[in-house]
Chains A and B, each alone.
Chain A
């Protein structure tokens, strides 16, 4: 009996010491946090600050300075407005800070906001076009990939103009970061939006030196934001190479076959009226072929869809002839898109952003090893053929 008591005492002592050892180490109440929901990175434009840092004699060599804007959502901004409904505050709180490395700049925000910045709900990182052009993305993103609090599911976007502007909104109840994330869900319904690019996906691509695309977002002066085409990141330099416009992005989506839905607006040859083909499913196969030293690719694009709208009043969709004609017209339209974008990425940007290299790697690993090093250059000279095959399965509830 005594033995048991002694043991129990020992156990409770152990537990107590355990508690006091590390008690409450990372406890932080949720209302004391400032959730960082979006981050934008821009090249600093204020020349005077640049000179200031350059003027410090004997300091480190001048670097490009980065302006970081964090979008905070705090207890105050989400407070349901029950207490002071009259003055409706904004739903977010943007804080900017400038510096030459990411984390020190972020830490300086402590000087400006009373809440503890909390990154786990970070949804989106927007990199300004200027910054992406001048700095290696790997360097910019290193902190975000390394940081434990940062989610690998965080999205990455490129802003054609100032990235910080995309985090601004005129509407009081709107949080731009959330809006951006939700807008990427539109990927399922249009070919003009890329599949969401998370940090996880980008990490591997940056490491392997593949070129890739990032969704481009444009902000207009009146505070509206819009997805417009894509930014091409060159694999070797890991810098922004240029932009694809919406049409080109559509073509690229057809090549990769990653679209889930979307429209093809073709023109009926006879009447010149538009016929709208809606994609129900999309598949594409990139087939590499190697003959000696010559590499070539063949893209087979297949799609099933329906006629969603047509202005050719004279024809009836119930007639197979017309359907065939519509199919043909849509196929031609897709071919045009594909051709256009291939020309652009092969000859203007000289970057393989559609994953041709990857297909080659899988099919001909040995060849790939040889060409891997200078793939983007090789890619620009490779002949690519394509074949588009669309099938119209139905025409909705009207057979006119």
Chain B
């Protein structure tokens, strides 16, 4: 009968009970917590008595998620073993009770101690990896330590490998990542602000910037946008990126993502703001410009002459990856007069018997290259390269042999494909690849004129595009010739100690 009543009580009071403050009654409180999370089999309730006093206590933790060492050495040991040795003289203990302050201040050898006032709060903390301590006679539960979490070792970032430069990459652990950032340079101006994102599952998010370099308006803008994020769950920083970007219709990414702490740090030193999310190695950098997409940290690590040339080469590759096939199409189907006679003849010769017009031919090849790329990505590691070779051989060689595709088209397509991977930012490479198809259609309809038209469209879009209030193609438009030293070319470091002004307003000399 009583049980029944209790149950009834439970149902109508379920929500409220979890929000009710703890009473200090150990059994009751524990029962509440149990109700809140009791059905989770991985949550352990360890009840014990505080060393020699007979006061009931319990620690609650998630198996595997919380720090076992902390529990064993710092909680259990100090509360059970050491307590009976050192603290039995303590007046409050003698009185048969235990003081929260005393435990907190003198017993527990743990850095992080917070309190939770009701079961719901406590439950969420426990489930994210903290350890909770409930004691008889103490009203609030103590939350000790934090998630140990599972994290991997720091490895070289696999999406942005460099020949020269630090081999350290971000990991999935936010704390490690912020530590990496701090480690980059002893700069007391590095500010790290904490946010929580996600409606249902909370996730920690951090924005980092240089207090003295970043434009306060920019930081404010980033904060605003992050606060506006309203989504159930944020599994990866890509979500954040999409939710805070300026124009979701644009083919260009307006936020840069990177796994490299050095890249983030140098962006911070330019007055940009970095956004790091717990659980992903990809940090976001805002604002970005088109030129940043084509820069690599290596540009600055190597001497200026090779970097200069490599950067030019990269711009060239970007242009090829954007316009390669479309130029070929317009030459072959519209402006045969523009190419040298001998070349025209050899193209004619190789295209003899090819049943498709150039545009269809190019589409077939481009699409199959994209399929190869996508397929290759999904293939299990061991057979990946083999299938790639087979695919390339089959598509390229056999198609030419069968007379469906002309060999020159294979060259053009292969060159464009390789070029698009010369863009250091993978996401920027993708946008170039997408736009390539558009350019091809324009070329097929209008020839070179169409390519120009497309280029003009693209330019007008780029000019309008902004990333966090900063024009996307700074410093080309609005033009700032002094910044062109680090745009398509890279001048010697001695010559460019200045920052990009669009980002940074306070202090324009690089210190050092």
Residues of chain A within 8 A of B446, CB atoms compared: 22
Pair A29/B345 contact, Cβ less than 8 Å: no
C-alpha spacing A53/B354, complex, angstroms: 44
Pair A118/B345 contact, Cβ less than 8 Å: no
Residue of A23, A29, A37, A80 near B332 (CB, 8 A) is: A29
Pair A19/B332 contact, Cβ less than 8 Å: no
Pair B447/A35 contact, Cβ less than 8 Å: no
Residues of chain A within 8 A of B445, CB atoms compared: 19, 23-24, 27
C-alpha spacing A151/B338, complex, angstroms: 11
**Chain A: number of interface residues, binned into ranges:** 20 to 34
Closest to A178 in B: B341
Pair B447/A27 contact, Cβ less than 8 Å: yes
C-alpha spacing A31/B353, complex, angstroms: 8
Residues of chain B within 8 A of A400, CB atoms compared: none
C-alpha spacing A75/B346, complex, angstroms: 9
A56 interface residue, CB < 8 Å from B?
no
Residues of chain A within 8 A of B350, CB atoms compared: 80
Pair A27/B334 contact, Cβ less than 8 Å: yes
A392 interface residue, CB < 8 Å from B?
no
Pair A29/B333 contact, Cβ less than 8 Å: yes
Closest to B406 in A: A31
B478 interface residue, CB < 8 Å from A?
no
A25 CB to nearest B CB, Å: 8
Pair A26/B334 contact, Cβ less than 8 Å: yes
B368 interface residue, CB < 8 Å from A?
no
Pair B337/A78 contact, Cβ less than 8 Å: no
Pair A35/B345 contact, Cβ less than 8 Å: yes
A363 interface residue, CB < 8 Å from B?
no
User: What 1/0 flags go to A174-190 for Cβ under 8 Å of B?
Assistant: 00001000000000000
Give the contacts of B300-352 with A (CB-CB under 8 A): 332-334, 336-337, 341, 344-352
C-alpha spacing A124/B351, complex, angstroms: 25
Residues of chain A within 8 A of B344, CB atoms compared: 30, 35, 121
Residues of chain B within 8 A of A151, CB atoms compared: 337
Pair A79/B333 contact, Cβ less than 8 Å: no
Residue of B249, B333, B353, B444 near A30 (CB, 8 A) is: B333
Pair B352/A79 contact, Cβ less than 8 Å: yes
Give the contacts of A270-301 with B (CB-CB under 8 A): none
Give the contacts of A55-84 with B (CB-CB under 8 A): 73-76, 78-80, 83
B397 CB to nearest A CB, Å: 14
Residue of B334, B345, B354 near A78 (CB, 8 A) is: B345
Pair A123/B341 contact, Cβ less than 8 Å: yes
Pair B348/A31 contact, Cβ less than 8 Å: yes
User: What 1/0 flags go to A12-24 for Cβ under 8 Å of B?
Assistant: 0000000100111
Contacts A26-B447, A29-B358, A121-B341 given; does A78 touch B348 at CB 8 Å: yes
C-alpha spacing A120/B331, complex, angstroms: 13
Residue of A19, A23, A26, A80 near B349 (CB, 8 A) is: A80
C-alpha spacing A386/B341, complex, angstroms: 44
B403 CB to nearest A CB, Å: 9
Pair B341/A74 contact, Cβ less than 8 Å: no
B469 interface residue, CB < 8 Å from A?
no
Residues of chain A within 8 A of B347, CB atoms compared: 30
Contacts A75-B352, A79-B349 given; does A30 touch B341 at CB 8 Å: no
Pair B352/A76 contact, Cβ less than 8 Å: yes
User: What 1/0 flags go to B220-256 for Cβ under 8 Å of A?
Assistant: 0000000000000000000000000000010000000
A321 interface residue, CB < 8 Å from B?
no
B54 interface residue, CB < 8 Å from A?
no
A33 interface residue, CB < 8 Å from B?
yes
Pair B332/A30 contact, Cβ less than 8 Å: yes
With A24-B444, A30-B333, A120-B337 given, name 13 new contacts (CB 8 A): A27-B357, A28-B333, A30-B332, A30-B358, A31-B354, A35-B336, A35-B344, A79-B352, A80-B350, A83-B353, A120-B336, A121-B344, A151-B337
16 pairs, CB–CB < 8 Å, chain A vs chain B: A24-B444, A27-B333, A28-B334, A30-B332, A30-B347, A31-B348, A31-B352, A35-B348, A73-B345, A75-B351, A78-B346, A78-B348, A78-B349, A79-B349, A80-B349, A121-B336
Give the A-binding residues of B (Cβ under 8 A): 249, 332-334, 336-337, 341, 344-354, 357-358, 444-447
For the complex of A and B, the 9 pairs showing the least CB-CB separation, nearest first, are A120-B337, A75-B352, A78-B349, A31-B351, A75-B348, A121-B341, A79-B352, A30-B332, A27-B333
